[in-house]
Amino acid sequence: MAACGVTARVEPFMETTSNLEQGESIVILGRKHQANYQTESSLVDCISGRLSSGSNGIPIFPSRRFENALFPWFEPSTAPLTTPEFATLLENDLVFDQIAQTGVRYIVWLDGSTDRTDSGGTISCSAGPGGAGCVGLAWWEDDARYDATVWDIKTLDSAGTIYVDYTGRSMIPALIIPIPLVVRTQQAACEGLSEQLSTFFVSNQ
């Protein structure tokens, strides 16, 4: 049972805190251009929700609305990967004006995924006239690795990157009844990233 839990590593790198003036907001986008993984929409939604909630909530522009308003420039195959590429994209007046209309000041790019890295054990279940039951132990390990890179649209510069790595081990011991002890590794990564990002942005609204 003690083996069930989360280990975390968080490496923030931010030049300075960033102020959001009246009418400004941030948008959180997931990278989806890699062949072997894509950043989950559920993580984007989780971080957006956490940052915008509470009395000190940060104004968040919905990611899907942003992607739709700027279609086709922020699709997996077209989104700028670097700030110089982004600067080139902003030379397009239509794109520049549309981003200005959204009021988005910072783009937070999430890149990474939560993967099952290991699993094992067995649970056997049987049923008979006298009753039913299970015996055994099954476990699995998830690894949530993400980095969040913040782009400042005004300065066309990267304002910093946060790297998090959460490893969580879940298990289901069964002695007649299976008892799932599930660790929500992606949720832990969401909470860690949200906490770091919330210290980075200061809303003056």
Partner 1 sequence: MLLERLLPTLIAMGLLGCASEITVISNVPTPLIAPMPYHVAVIIDNDLQGFQYNENIDGQANWSITVGPAAADLVRNIFIGLFEEVIFINSQEDSVDLNQIDLIVYPRLSRFEFDAPIRGNDIFAESWLQFTITAFDTSGNNTGEALVTGYGRSEIFRDREGSVNEATQSALRNAGVNIIATLPTSLKL
| Contacting residues toward partner 1, per CB under 8 A | 38, 40, 42, 68-73, 75-78, 94-95, 98
**15 or 75: whose CB is closer to partner 1?**
75
To the nearest whole angstrom, how small is the minimum distance from the Cβ of residue 114 to partner 1?
10
For partner 1, give the closer residue by CB, 38 or 198. 38
**Closest CB to partner 1 among residues 1, 127:** 127
Write down the least CB distance from residue 89 to partner 1, Å: 11
Q: What is the nearest approach in angstroms of partner 1 to the Cβ of residue 86?
A: 15
Query: For residue 77, what are the contacts with CB-CB under 8 A and spacing of at least 6?
Result: 33
Distance of closest approach, residue 3 Cβ to partner 1, in angstroms: 23
- Which CB atom, from 69 or from 135, has the smaller least distance to partner 1? 69
Which residues are CB-neighbours of 25 under 8 A, at least 6 positions away? 58, 59, 60, 61, 102, 103, 104, 105
C-beta of 13 vs 71, nearer to partner 1:
71
Q: Measured from the CB of residue 166, what is the shortest distance to partner 1 in angstroms? A: 18
* CB-based contact 4:181 (threshold 8 Å): yes
